[in-house]
Amino acid sequence: MKISVDGVELFTLSETQKKVIQHDIHADIFDEDMKRRLQYIVMHKFERCFERLKKEWEGKLADSGIEFIPTSKEAFAEMVFALPEYKNRAQRDAQESEK
């Protein structure tokens, strides 16, 4: 089983690795189960990162006079990303290394 993202192969499970997993996961649902697990991991990371983003920026948005904060996660994130003072991790790290 090859695991790829955007056409770039990340890794391959050997037949032996698949069989080890299939010791616990039925072979008939193996592919579906692996896809579900990968989706869960990525979405779990998104949820945790969103929680931290929201915790950091909810008060900053209110303090800056914004009266309506979206309830949609996507809309909230886009509102934050549109602010001139927003910096992503790479930008914050670069700013810290300049000090």
Token couple for 71: 């309830």
Q: Which amino acid is at 19?
A: K
Specify the pTM.
Answer: 0.83
Per-domain boundaries in the chain: 2-98
CA-closest candidate to residue 64, choices 74, 53, 79, 75: 79
pLDDT tens profile 61-81: 999 889 899 999 999 999 999
What 8-state DSSP symbol labels residue 74? H
Sign of the alpha-carbon dihedral angle for 50, 56, 60, 62: positive
Reported confidence tier of residue 89, pLDDT bands at 50, 70, 90: very high
Residue 98 pLDDT greater than 90, yes or no: no
pLDDT tens profile 18-77: 999 999 999 999 999 999 999 999 999 999 999 999 999 999 999 988 989 999 999 999
